[in-house]
Structure 1
Amino acid sequence: MVDGDPAGGPAEAGGPGAGRTGSERAGAGRGRAPLRLAQALLIAAVSPLVPGIAHLRAGRVRLGGTLLGLQAAALTAAALAAGRYRALFLELSARPPWLLALVAACVALAALWALLIGHSYAVLAPEGLAPLWRLAGGTTVAVLCLLVIVPPLSLAQFGYVQRHLIRTVFADGPVAPAAVRLAARQGGAARWPGAPRLNVLLIGAAPDAARDPDPARDVDRVGDVTLASVDVRSGDTTLLALPAGLRRVPVWSGAEPVPFPPGRPLADVYREGAAHPELLAGGGPVRDPGAELLKRTVAHMLGQDVPYYVKVDASGVRALSGTGAPTAPAKKGCPFWAKLRETEPLAVLKRYQRLARVFINSVNTDVPRRLLPALAGPAAKIEDAEITSLRPAAGAAAAPRAGQVALRVLAARAPGAPVPAARPVTGLPILSVSCN
């Protein structure tokens, strides 16, 4: 006799069970058992999406209603947060403690979903099943549990990889004074005039093998040197690419000039610092002496505060630029930024683990981890921000000199300011402009 089956109860006079023996009623109940088993498995399968449906069907109204209410509240909160607090998500994704909490929460969610499936099946599973049907039901539930834990565990893996990336790439050192002011001003822009800006030196390391096949020399060589100036309120960014042939570079230790042959180009400053770390004033541990000396030199040369650098090798730029199929051709002079905007988020997620590994192996920076949350706001605005690339040329046969006033004028432009004419009053031609 199947528990709860109306056909298995005492037959009322004139009812559908009248005149049937007990064995006949039990056989009819066993005949419907596979159908009831399929219904129980189907409801258990959808229980992570509609928690409590199995308990409501089993008559446990209070528990089922509570589970449904919790699900509705969680979905409402997630929808509101996703629509209004994108910058908050980016900020949390830059905090290793929160990422660790995310990993733990995802693991707990996976366990709860598996438990919910098992319990939903338990409250609906029909009694009196043959051993083979019981085995089939248990196996199906086990498979459902394995399938349902894949999404939260995948998210936990993303959180773990992101935490490892942040702890590996970004320094755990002090925040530069200019960046301290930047972090303190977040949310209080009305109290101070002017557009706050953060300057970061972008260093392209390791020339292409076609031009320099000796990998042993790549470690001490750099190619492109670009000053990125970011408006931290709007996300507008100006990329000033310094000419590779700059001569008469005023190398700066941080406190005094450093002797440097006038005929050597700006890119050689990196090699000088890597070979002679003692040239840096102030002492203390430095992640990359070559990048540090180059950063101080550019800041002194352009008259700008440049608190941080980011060094990326050539292979890393190519890999990071290929995060997904672009929906439109990348603009000349701005391939990385164009592809970054055109990349679909799902394409990034599918390849995130490999991209994170490329980022770890290709990027070196002194940006401290504690500053990353303050940069989440500008990062969230990159899709609508004005990205301008300024690539000045010498305009003459002679190599440009680092002391040109034109470079200081271009470096002083506010991020997002109107793009100068092809030949501005400074006399320095601009080869590429807007990246939008």
Structure 2
Amino acid sequence: MDTTTRTVEKTPPRSGEERIAPRRALLLTAASAVLPGLAHLHAGRRSAGRILLGAHICALATAVFAIIAFRGDLMQLAVRPRLLIALVVVSVLAAVAWPLLLVWSYSCVRPVWNSRKTRVTAAALVGLLGVVTALPPLAVARYGYLQHDLITSVFSSGPQARSATGQGAAPAGTSLPPRLNVLLLGGDADVNRPGVRTDSMTLASVDTKTGGTVLISLPRNLQHVPVWNGHRRVRFSGKRLLNEVYEFGKAHPRLTGAPNPGAELLKRTYGHIVGLPVHYYAMVDMRSFRQIVDAVHGVRLCVRQPIPVPREQVAGGVIEAGCQRLTGRQALWYGRSRTASSDYARMARQKCLMWALVHQADPVTVLRSFQRLTQVFKYSVNTDIPVRVLPSLLRLPPLIRQAGLHSVQFTPPLINTWRPDYRNIRTITSQALRSPVVVEKNLDQTCTEHADRR
């Protein structure tokens, strides 16, 4: 063994190279993971070292400049399918190239082997270092793939249908209209509940310049509904409720000719009632809502008074008053329970749930639950929002948080649900958009006042 070692030590190095101890070689290799080319420069391979180090510094400088100068645009890249595919490909290539670069760096420094065990140990450490350096780009590739899969699965890529009032089409380009109207639907389809009844219906009307948002809610039990297909009124029994329009549209697909005839007929009817074009809709069912809340580790709410719910749904049969973090199942029944309450109180609680989720869904929480959320949204959320407008939509959440949410809730005594005055509904809606505070308080106040803040 000693003879072999002495023989290796006497082997003359190539020009410009110096053989060093394994420990120092490993340190240079590890440093090359952060500064590629450092090991090459130490080994006398100046050309390769300068090229690698220069390319790395240029790439870092470009990335920092892009993040500082184009931060908003870079965020929008996360919703462009083609760029996401490019990100996945580049990340996979980086995950392969970085470990190979480390092996090359280690071979350049030509360490002296004291024993076979040292050689095997050093090789294993270099391999482990290569795996570690491959993990970040592989994680980026994984997130990019999940994001691409979510976008292409959930959002529409085809032409859009006419708007709810028949007054032209939904936005044709990638820009948003001055006021964007999206109908948010909560369906009650669940285990042992066939069909879909849209028991939660709220129109989010967003000023795309300021982010000012008004939530316009119609009650599920609205009667004498003027069902509108975009061209004419459709025969619909006066005794039937607004939450039955979705199933009626599904049963009569020729009324709209849309991919989702139920949602499209409800969009047009809702828009006809409030006097606004409804550009898009988004619907989530009961099970999905539970999973969304659980994916972000619950939602914190200040419950004003105990909420009785079916005992088979929530252990104990009640959600106690006070500030607390609700699980997905508790949050669902906080927004759905009518026991010792009413449809109208439930509507108010549903909007407070939306307010809480908007304020608590911070980027860190979303990223931490990203995989679970993508699976929930992929299979449980239905929408006609097209992929092409996603980059423009992405800039709205910060504006909405800053401007705040206001709400218009059409409940008695504001309206009579059995014989509604639809002209008055349109008038109130118009007033709310011009001056939201005249109609109802900001949800920041409405959802927290009189609550136990302990």
Where does residue 308 of structure 1 map in the other structure? 280
Q: How many residues align?
A: 386
Q: Deviations over 1:174-213 (max 9, x none)?
A: 14555436735x6xxxxxxxx8111111111116x6xxx7
Taking the aligned partners of 2:216 and 2:440, their CA distance within structure 1 comes to 15
Q: Deviations over 1:350-386 (max 9, x none)?
A: 3211110100121101112222223233245344342
Q: 2:63 aligns with which of 63, 67, 78?
A: 78
Report matched runs for 1:256-405 at 5 Å: 256-280=232-256, 283=257, 286-324=258-296, 329=301, 333-379=351-397, 381-395=399-413, 399=417, 401-405=419-423
- Sequence identity percentage: 37
Q: 2:124 aligns with which of 118, 139, 161?
A: 139
Query: Residue 21 of structure 2 aligns to a residue in which SS?
Result: helix
The 1:262/1:341 distance shift into structure 2, 3 A limit, reads: same
Where does residue 99 of structure 2 map in the other structure? 114
The 1:312/1:43 distance shift into structure 2, 3 A limit, reads: same
Q: Deviations over 1:12-51 (max 9, x none)?
A: xxxxxxxxxx89x86xxxxxx9982122223222322222
Quote the offset at 1:416 in angstroms: 8.8
Q: Is the 8 A contact 1:44 1:54 kept in 2?
A: yes
Q: Deviations over 1:280-314 (max 9, x none)?
A: 3xx3xx32211111111111111111121111112
Report matched runs for 1:88-127 at 5 Å: 88-127=73-112
Taking the aligned partners of 2:443 and 2:96, their CA distance within structure 1 comes to 57
The 1:240/1:422 distance shift into structure 2, 3 A limit, reads: closer
Q: Is the 8 A contact 2:222 2:418 kept in 1?
A: yes
Does structure 1 residue 228 correspond to structure 2 residue 198? no
The 1:315/1:415 distance shift into structure 2, 3 A limit, reads: farther
Report matched runs for 1:133-282 at 5 Å: 133-175=118-160, 178-180=169-171, 183-184=174-175, 196-206=178-188, 214-216=192-194, 219-280=195-256
Q: Is the 8 A contact 1:96 1:166 kept in 2?
A: yes
Quote the offset at 1:225 in angstroms: 0.7
Where does residue 31 of structure 2 map in the other structure? 46
Find the structure with the greater CA-based Rg. 1
Which sits farther off after the overlay, 340-349 or 264-273? 340-349
Query: Residue 356 of structure 2 aligns to a residue in which SS?
Result: helix
Taking the aligned partners of 2:403 and 2:71, their CA distance within structure 1 comes to 15
**What amino acid maps onto 1:103 in structure 2?**
V
Taking the aligned partners of 1:60 and 1:277, their CA distance within structure 2 comes to 72
Taking the aligned partners of 2:34 and 2:299, their CA distance within structure 1 comes to 34
**What amino acid maps onto 2:364 in structure 1?**
L
Q: Scaled by the length of structure 2, what TM-score is found? A: 0.75
Q: Is the 8 A contact 2:408 2:432 kept in 1?
A: no
Q: 1:420 aligns with which of 428, 438, 448?
A: 438
Quote the offset at 1:251 in angstroms: 0.2
Q: Is the 8 A contact 1:91 1:374 kept in 2?
A: yes
* Structure 2 unaligned regions, length at least 5: 11-17, 162-167, 304-348, 449-454
**What amino acid maps onto 2:192 in structure 1?**
D
Q: Is the 8 A contact 2:153 2:378 kept in 1?
A: yes
Q: Deviations over 1:110-157 (max 9, x none)?
A: 122112211111112314453222222222222211121111111111
**What amino acid maps onto 2:193 in structure 1?**
P
Query: Residue 238 of structure 1 aligns to a residue in which SS?
Result: strand
**What amino acid maps onto 1:366 in structure 2?**
D
Which sits farther off after the overlay, 99-108 or 308-317? 308-317
Q: Is the 8 A contact 2:186 2:200 kept in 1?
A: yes
After the TM superposition, which segments of 4 or more aligned residues of structure 1 sit over 6 Å from their partners? 430-436
**What amino acid maps onto 2:233 in structure 1?**
P
Taking the aligned partners of 1:296 and 1:152, their CA distance within structure 2 comes to 46
**What amino acid maps onto 1:130 in structure 2?**
S
